[in-house]
Structure 1
Amino acid sequence: MVLTRSKSNSQGTTAAAPAPAKAISPAKRKGQTSATPASKATKTEKASDISAIKNKTAEATATNSTETPAIVAAENNTANPIQAEAPATTETLTSVDTAATGPATLDMLEASAPPAPTAPTAATIPAPVDVPVLSSTAPVVVSTEEPTVHDGAAKPSTLRPYDAVVSDIEGTTCPIAFVKESLFPYVTSNLADFLKKNWSSDEMKEAVEALRIQASKDIANGLSDATPIAVESADVSSEKVQKDVIASIEWQMKADRKIGALKAFQGYMWKDGYANGDLKGVVYDDVIAAFDNWKAEGKKLYIYSSGSIPAQKLIFGFSEKGDLLHYFSGHYDTSIGQKVEAESYTKIATDIGLEPAKILFLSDNIHEINAAKEAGFQAIVTDRPGNAPLTAADQENNIVVKSFLEIPKAL
């Protein structure tokens, strides 16, 4: 049984009778079916039957003239694949009973024979399939570097190049215990004797006058604990004035005030203690190693402390490790401004002659760190034994080290 094609109009109209198929010459048919030696062999073996088959085909054509076009069409369609028709028509395949149309023709036998294998053409290769690409976020790259936040901004993973280091003292270069347990007690325990011993000196008179002026400011500002300091006269004894000085100093030290007049007086007393050997400055071992490294790299070192400049020089000039003052290019105290104010650091940068970003500030006090960063400094928090505990936010938002040797290298 073979399949024939008939066309029907998509709108249901009657299909026109198919036009007679154009006869294909034996020579042309032979060219189409003799592509390989195998097909030639098959045709030779059936040569004895060709004449009989053609005779019977002629008879069948005479008696079944209305069906012949369909058979020829089937043959032609086998040799020439059906081309796509216009969208307005549809195609159906109809079976043709060869018993009704007569024996199969040679062309039909050749059409039904399996085609000889041929080399694949580009048309047999499946067209590439477009696979939809799903949008996705960029891959997350895990950084080995540690982030840093400047007052809420992302914290840098390391330091940028810097040319100078400005360091605090208490809790940074020296143990806070040395200040709390050695320097401060030295003042309170020796204050009365020190006043009597040096009361008539010009240096003492200047120190007391500075304390008197500060006391007047505190009273004017409504500080209830502030103690006025009398002026010595015929009616006011030196002992009375000395008692006022002691009361004022003890109150301010108990409040841990960072006031210039108080720090100057403490430094005045500490100088006497260092000079007679009662005091020796204590400096962390890692500080000296870091100082050596920075000096070798050509970086300048400065001290900024709430302690007076004379007191700063005493700690490093009379340290247990000898005189360390040769490391420093300068010193700053609260005379340039309070350490918790950004303006103070701006003034320091101007005085040093560097852009703030080229200066590294070191301190244990988070408020000082924030002020320095606000001014544009790079900053690191030192977390030494005995220092005030840092909050989780303080540690998250800052580079924190326990030793100067932990300070990361600048990139």
Structure 2
Amino acid sequence: MTQRFRATAVVLDIEGTTSATRHVTDVLYPYSRRRFARLLTERWDEPEVRAAVEQVRELLDEPEADARRVERALGAWLDEDRKVTPLKSLQGIIWAEGFARGDLTAHFYPDVVPVLRRWHARGARLYVYSSGSVSAQRSWFGHTPQGDLRPLVSGFFDTRTAGPKTASASYRAITAATGVPPAATLFLSDRASELDAAREAGWLTGALTRPEEPHGASDRTAHPAARSFTDIDLDLELAEGTV
């Protein structure tokens, strides 16, 4: 069933929505795990790494935690699939280098890229909001089998720049940054808790219920559901007057 939305902007989740969760957990996570120790040992004093380390220490309540202790904490959070900002920041550094070297390539479901290109050509503004760092998001969209998709995207947001994805205040922060009215902003995600928060902020919401995804079979009767991007129709003309 096609879901129709009056929206001029679409904010995209990545994992489970545009892209397969298994590609992240089976390819990207192990790649970062193998490289945490070297990153922390060789680049400990770099500002971005140092800032993430300090955040890890704060979360552990261990101000003197050394590189080995930080690595163990990162590994434990990875095992738990915790959406922890310093973990995502350090992964972003590692993944950006992996994409640049050609070690990594992003995954998008076949239905996604043609629809994004069509929406962009029609004038829709596309944004990304993911728990992965902005650096990781840019690497992901920049290194795909379909080419560099970053020109399609007007902006990237993560938990550091916007806030937690289950907090309505995060979506209000994105509204303030984009200037697009909440009622003309559509958020697409596979997670009900995120969609609930976006709706509370006044956004339109669409649930991706891909059967192969771990959250894709959940009951989301509170949000219009689509199994692929081809089941989503944007009514840009009607949305132009939305306030």
* TM-score class normalised by the smaller sequence: 0.7 to 0.9
Question: Does 1:311 find its partner at 2:136?
Answer: yes
Structure 2 partner of 1:334: 159
Question: Does 1:252 find its partner at 2:86?
Answer: no
**Cα pair 2:9 2:124 within 8 Å, conserved:** yes
- Tell me: CA distance 1:206–1:374, structure 2 relative to 1, closer, same or farther (3 Å): closer
What TM-score comes out, normalization by structure 1 length? 0.54
Per-residue CA shift, 1:46-92, capped at 9, x if unaligned? Answer: xxxxxxxxxxxxxxxxxxxxxxxxxxxxxxxxxxxxxxxxxxxxxxx
Match of 1:404 among 219, 229, 232: 229
- Greater Cα offset, 189-198 or 310-319: 189-198
**Cα pair 2:16 2:215 within 8 Å, conserved:** no
Match of 1:383 among 196, 204, 209: 209
Match of 2:20 among 175, 199, 204: 175
Structure 2 partner of 1:58: none
Question: Residue 285 of structure 1: CA displacement?
Answer: 2.4
Question: Residue 243 of structure 1: CA displacement?
Answer: 1.0
Per-residue CA shift, 1:155-174, capped at 9, x if unaligned? Answer: xx953421100000111111
Query: Residue 159 of structure 1: SS of its match in structure 2?
Result: strand
- Tell me: CA distance 1:318–1:391, structure 2 relative to 1, closer, same or farther (3 Å): closer
- Tell me: CA distance 1:293–1:253, structure 2 relative to 1, closer, same or farther (3 Å): same
Question: Does 1:352 find its partner at 2:199?
Answer: no
Query: Residue 165 of structure 1: SS of its match in structure 2?
Result: strand
**Cα pair 2:125 2:153 within 8 Å, conserved:** yes
Question: Does 1:230 find its partner at 2:64?
Answer: yes
Per-residue CA shift, 1:205-264, capped at 9, x if unaligned? Answer: 333223223322xxxxxxxxxxx3626xxxxxxxxx221111111122222222211111
Q: Distance in 2 between matches of 1:175 and 1:183?
A: 12
**Cα pair 1:316 1:323 within 8 Å, conserved:** yes
Q: Distance in 1 between matches of 2:167 and 2:57?
A: 25
Q: In structure 1, what residue type is equivalent to 2:152?
A: Y
Q: In structure 2, what residue type is equivalent to 1:242?
A: A
- Tell me: CA distance 1:286–1:158, structure 2 relative to 1, closer, same or farther (3 Å): closer
Match of 1:186 among 15, 25, 31: 31
Query: Residue 50 of structure 2: SS of its match in structure 1?
Result: helix
What TM-score comes out, normalization by structure 2 length? 0.88
Question: Does 1:213 find its partner at 2:58?
Answer: yes
Higher relative contact order (CA 8 A, sep 6+): 2
Q: In structure 1, what residue type is equivalent to 2:116?
A: F
Q: In structure 1, what residue type is equivalent to 2:138?
A: K
Uncovered stretches (5+) of structure 2, i.e. residues with no partner: 239-243
- Tell me: CA distance 1:406–1:244, structure 2 relative to 1, closer, same or farther (3 Å): same
- Tell me: CA distance 1:229–1:275, structure 2 relative to 1, closer, same or farther (3 Å): farther
Query: Residue 354 of structure 1: SS of its match in structure 2?
Result: coil
Q: Distance in 2 between matches of 1:334 and 1:204?
A: 17
Q: Distance in 2 between matches of 1:263 and 1:181?
A: 16
Higher Rg of the two aligned structures: 1
**Cα pair 1:172 1:363 within 8 Å, conserved:** yes
- Tell me: CA distance 1:389–1:298, structure 2 relative to 1, closer, same or farther (3 Å): closer
Question: Residue 200 of structure 1: CA displacement?
Answer: 4.7
What are the within-5 Å matches in structure 2 for residues 8-407 of structure 1? 158-216=3-61, 228=62, 230=64, 241-335=66-160, 336-384=162-210, 385-392=212-219, 394=220, 396-407=221-232
**Cα pair 1:303 1:332 within 8 Å, conserved:** yes
**Cα pair 1:229 1:244 within 8 Å, conserved:** no
Query: Residue 111 of structure 2: SS of its match in structure 1?
Result: helix
Q: Distance in 1 between matches of 2:77 and 2:102?
A: 26
Structure 2 partner of 1:33: none
Q: Distance in 2 between matches of 1:201 and 1:409?
A: 44
Q: Distance in 2 between matches of 1:161 and 1:382?
A: 18
Identity %: 35
Aligned alpha-carbon RMSD (Å): 2.0
Query: Residue 361 of structure 1: SS of its match in structure 2?
Result: strand
Matched residues, number: 234
Query: Residue 35 of structure 2: SS of its match in structure 1?
Result: helix
Q: Distance in 2 between matches of 1:349 and 1:276?
A: 35
Q: Distance in 1 between matches of 2:67 and 2:173?
A: 37
Q: In structure 1, what residue type is equivalent to 2:64?
A: A
**Cα pair 1:172 1:364 within 8 Å, conserved:** yes
**Cα pair 2:172 2:201 within 8 Å, conserved:** yes
